[in-house]
Amino acid sequence: MTIELPSQMHWSRWGDPEKSHPVSETMRGLIEAFLGPLEERPAVALAEVRLPEVGLTEDLLAALRGLVGDEHVHTNDEWRVARTRGKSTPDLLKIRSGDASDAPDAVVRPLDHGEVAAVVSWCVDNEVALVPFGGGTSVVGGLAARRDGYAGVIALDLRRLTRLLAVDPVSGTATLEAGLLGPEAEALLAQHGLTIGHFPQSFRYASIGGFAATRSSGQSSAGYGRFDSLVMALKVATPLGDLVLGSSPANAAGPDLRELVMGSEGAFGVITEVTLKVRPVPEVKVYEGWRFDSFAAGADAMRRLAQGRVMPTVLRLSDEAETSVNLARPDAVGSESAGGCLMITGYEGTPDQVSRARAASTELLTEVGGTSLGEDTGQAWAEGRYDGPYLRDALLDVGVLVETFETVTFWSNLANLYESVKAAIEQDLTSQGTPPLVLCHISHVYETGASLYFTVAAKELPDGLAQWLPAKAAASDAMIAAGASITHHHAVGQDHKPWLASEIGPVGVEMLRAVKERIDPRGVLNPGILIP
């Protein structure tokens, strides 16, 4: 099994700069047909980025160095910029303009759980805010701590916590340190013939700890499950001491505190170790394209698969607009599906498992009106499944504002949610004089419902951030009004926090606040994130 290991994430773009390419002339023509003439909007050079002065005193920095070693506390501009915010479009718009006002005073790189716990305790004693930093892929403002009232802010970079600590092949579990990125974890497990099966679009750059802290869901969730469903045990460094959870596959020993940690985004503690359910590396992987006449017809087919428990490993459906745009790209495969909606199914496992799952899915999908487009279409999707963020960077370079957001609801409410959110985002951006292109797909499916993942593109105004924020608010308001969740797998951060209270209600808010106040009374853990 060959796994491509990641390089350093670019400071103002997604991923590996070697894989970044400008918009082609063909693609530019397609975009201008939708949005009008484009204009160059390059990012500033690194030397032009504006950072605040380091706020931590030399005495405090010396104490930090004593905890993790001189060479693992960084205060130079390059390190601080590289650990500033995440990779949402608002984050990128700020850093591309040279705004690094949220930069940490120092980047601190502990080696293991003991050093993490020591740094957490030090931050409490010295009232220094701490932002856990894994792969830096947050898209909800989850990595920009509130600075007011603190002696300083540090980014706790967990990228030295990269060990596979234990493998239990009998139980089918493995314990990994939180700083491992997706490909690194898979490479270590592959040596034992195992896989997690968690492959979100951020897979190459997101970390094991980050997956747990945000309740991530991968593109193979139909077969392997969400990341939180795979978590068997956790080790967490908190201001009150170590929290060790997960002594059995399931129990009735009160509320499951693992669920309290997962999704907490570092607000209750720093996850250092995660024990996961793992499975054998699949012998066979087959991906296939299908065409449905409409988004509604395709969604109904997905529901029938889920409720009939006939689930491929990968199951996703693009609406008419997303299908049209994807098929208009010069590298598109399967253009014969134009005029409908493209579904991708994927099957992984032993040859017998794949054969049986594919046969059962094919029978049902054909019965409800689907038309197979063959393996070329599915394989083309699989080969480009991680490349979307690179295209976003290229579009930002030519003045196209692009962002994504997602939600989830029950099947009976899916069509209403889709229409409501789409209408809200179109109305807001059109009122600003920038009518958008709105695309959507379903990529996570359950017996009772499914997620909707929207991509929005519009011509960028001079202040792209001021343009996007009211549009995002309009979409979020529509989600709550429709009775859906504010997020399915992107977490809360700062961006979704204004709507969290409406989703969980006043009692839920008080419960979160009570936990925060008890476990982190000085509020040093990622302040300003999650808690309404």
Fold designation for 388-495:
GMP Synthetase; Chain A, domain 3 (3.30.300)
Tell me how far apart the alpha carbons of residues 402 and 391 are, in angstroms, rounded to a whole number. 9
What's residue 338's pLDDT? 55
Q: Where are the domains of the chain?
A: 164-280, 284-383, 388-495
Name the region of 215 (left: φ>0; alpha: ψ -120 to 50; beta: rest).
left
Q: How far, in whole angstroms, is CA 417 from its chain's centroid?
A: 21
Could you say which of 150, 224, 386, 453 is catalytic?
A: 453
Per the annotation, binding residues are: 132-138, 214-217, 265-271, 392
Is 284-383 a CATH 3.30.70.3450 domain? yes
For domain 164-280, the CATH class is alpha beta
Mark the binding-site residues for FAD, compressed into ranges: 132-138, 214-217, 265-271
Whether residue 249 contacts residue 275, with contact meaning beta carbons closer than 8 Å, is answered with no
Locate 124 and state its tokens: 């409490």
- Mean pLDDT for each 10-residue chunk of the chain (532 residues)? 65 90 87 89 95 96 98 96 97 97 98 98 98 96 93 97 98 98 97 97 97 97 96 98 96 95 97 98 97 98 96 97 75 55 97 97 97 95 92 95 98 98 98 97 97 97 97 98 98 97 98 98 97 96
Q: How many CA atoms lie within 13 A of 197 on its CB side?
A: 29
Give the pLDDT of residue 29.
Answer: 87
pLDDT tens sequence across 43-95: 999 999 999 999 999 999 999 999 999 999 999 999 999 999 999 999 999 99
CA distance 66 to 24: 51
Single pTM value for the model: 0.95
Other beta carbons less than 10 A from residue 148's beta carbon: 7
| Nearest partner of 92 among 128, 57, 163, 41, judged by Cα | 41
Is residue 446 annotated as part of the catalytic site, yes or no? no
Can you tell me the distance from the alpha carbon of 429 to that of 406, in angstroms, rounded to the nearest whole number? 18
Residue whose C-alpha is closest to residue 89's, from 141, 19, 37? 141
Residue closest to 468 by CA, chosen among 532, 404, 418, 421: 404
pLDDT of the residue at 9: 86
pLDDT at 335: 43
Binding residues for substrate, as ranges, are 392
Give the integer Cα–Cα distance in Å for 190 and 443.
26
